[in-house]
């Protein structure tokens, strides 16, 4: 049996009882280590679970999945995922591979950022398409995520923006030369995401457009959701470019039309309450 086990968002104790029982039954336990991170390290998980964990990086899961599934037809193997197992499409591929090999699988769900984001007070059913904001480079500055955010906002919907994670990435030079040398991990902050959005707004205006999203659009910055030191800040997009939320992981919400109750909740986390008086009240129903 292959078990796909969600670990939740905070620390080792967020695993469900059902998930923990499955982990302790398994002969091999893999920890997916590239789509998200917990606030505690691998050693803390091993101590709590009573099991040695094998780190599974992107290369192993996407290119060597058969080795991960080896013997799963005759013994129990667990694949641990921060959040919920299906928070990333990569894990659907793992299930499909298991089915083709005749290996039964079981999914044990847990909380993910996709539902825990409701902690800020915005209603989950008012969210549109989730988008990913990627790190720009000197030569690659995509704007497609901005178009999706604008479409959501035009429809009155909020947008959850998942911010880029770079773990075990190679420089172009090392990749071309086949050298297994990796760059230090990088995690996009709310500040960086806001700065890229602000740059797109300026660029669109320069092209004669009037973006639906402006510097004064109300946004929410979230950091380490589910952890003891969780932090939430609400305010304008401009304010999100300077707000201090600390260590990763960060997420950003761009609001759409807000119900008065949503607005009242966001005020609990406001950087400056005057931001809401000047802007948000124009987009409530």
Where do we find the tokens 């099991």? 51
Q: How many CB atoms lie within 10 A of CB 224?
A: 21
Q: 2-111: which CATH topology?
A: Cobalt-precorrin-4 Transmethylase; domain 1 (3.40.1010)
Kindly give the interhelix angle for 17-25 and 42-49, rounded to the nearest 10 degrees. Answer: 90
Reported pTM: 0.89
> In this structure, are residues 15 and 7 in contact, taking their beta carbons and an 8 Å threshold?
yes
What helix, strand, coil percent values describe the chain, rounded to 5? 40, 20, 40
H or E segment at 106?
strand 105-108
For 146-171, what is each residue's pLDDT tens digit?
Answer: 999 999 999 999 999 999 988 766 55
For 41-88, what is each residue's pLDDT tens digit?
Answer: 889 999 999 999 998 877 777 677 777 888 888 899 999 999 999 876
Please state whether the peptide bond connecting residue 209 to the residue before it is cis, i.e. omega within 30 degrees of 0. no
Distance CA 126, CA 250 (A): 21
What CATH homologous superfamily does 114-268 map to?
Answer: Tetrapyrrole methylase, C-terminal domain (3.30.950.10)
Query: Per-residue confidence of the chain (285 residues) as pLDDT tens digits?
Result: 999 999 999 889 999 999 999 999 999 999 987 667 776 788 999 999 999 999 887 777 767 777 788 888 889 999 999 999 987 667 888 899 899 999 999 999 999 999 999 999 999 999 999 999 999 998 999 999 999 999 999 999 999 999 998 876 655 665 666 666 666 788 999 999 999 999 999 999 999 999 999 999 999 999 999 989 999 999 999 999 999 999 999 999 999 999 999 999 999 999 987 877 765 445 555
- Residues tagged in the binding site annotation for S-adenosyl-L-methionine: 9, 84, 87, 112-113, 163, 225, 250
H or E segment at 31?
strand 28-32
Q: Is 200 left (phi over 0), alpha (psi -120 to 50) or beta?
A: alpha
Distance CA 34, CA 31 (A): 9
Domain ranges for the chain, please list them: 2-111, 114-268
> In this structure, are residues 103 and 73 in contact, taking their beta carbons and an 8 Å threshold?
yes
Instruction: State the Cα torsion 33-98-26-166 to the nearest 10°.
Output: 0
For residue 197, give both structure tokens. 């959005």
pLDDT of residue 168: 61
For residue 19, give both structure tokens. 């998930």
Distance CA 20, CA 110 (A): 12
Burial of residue 262, with CB atoms counted within 10 A of its CB: 0-12 exposed, 13-18 middle, 19 or more buried: buried
Distance CA 244, CA 191 (A): 8
- Residues tagged in the binding site annotation: 9, 84, 87, 112-113, 163, 225, 250
Where do we find the tokens 């909740």? 265
């Amino acid at each position: 049996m292959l078990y796909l086990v969600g670990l939740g968002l905070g620390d080792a104790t967020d695993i469900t009882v059902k998930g923990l029982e499955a982990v302790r039954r398994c002969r091999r336990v893999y920890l997916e280590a590239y789509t998200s991170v917990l606030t505690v390290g691998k050693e803390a998980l091993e101590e709590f679970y009573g099991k040695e964990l094998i780190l599974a990086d992107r290369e192993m899961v996407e290119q060597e999945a058969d080795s991960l599934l080896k013997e799963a037809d005759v013994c129990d193997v667990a694949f641990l995922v921060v959040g919920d197992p299906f928070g990333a499409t990569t894990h659907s591929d793992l299930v499909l591979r298991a089915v083709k090999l005749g290996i039964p699988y079981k999914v044990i769900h847990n909380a993910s950022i996709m539902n825990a984001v409701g902690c800020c007070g915005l209603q989950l059913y008012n969210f549109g398409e989730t988008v990913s904001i990627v790190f720009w480079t000197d030569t690659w500055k995509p704007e497609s995520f901005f178009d999706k955010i604008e479409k959501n906002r035009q429809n009155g919907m909020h947008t959850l923006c998942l911010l880029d994670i770079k773990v075990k990435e190679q420089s172009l030079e090392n990749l071309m030369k086949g050298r297994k040398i990796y760059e230090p991990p990088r995690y996009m902050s709310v500040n960086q995401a806001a700065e890229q959005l602000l740059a797109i707004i300026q660029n669109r205006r320069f092209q004669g457009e009037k973006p639906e999203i402006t510097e004064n659009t109300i946004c929410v910055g979230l950091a380490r959701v589910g952890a003891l030191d969780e932090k939430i800040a609400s305010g304008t997009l401009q304010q999100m470019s300077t707000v201090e939320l600390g260590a990763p992981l960060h997420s950003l919400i761009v609001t759409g039309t807000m119900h008065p109750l949503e607005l009242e909740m966001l005020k609990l986390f406001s950087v400056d309450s005057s931001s809401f008086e000047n802007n948000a009240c124009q987009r409530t129903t």
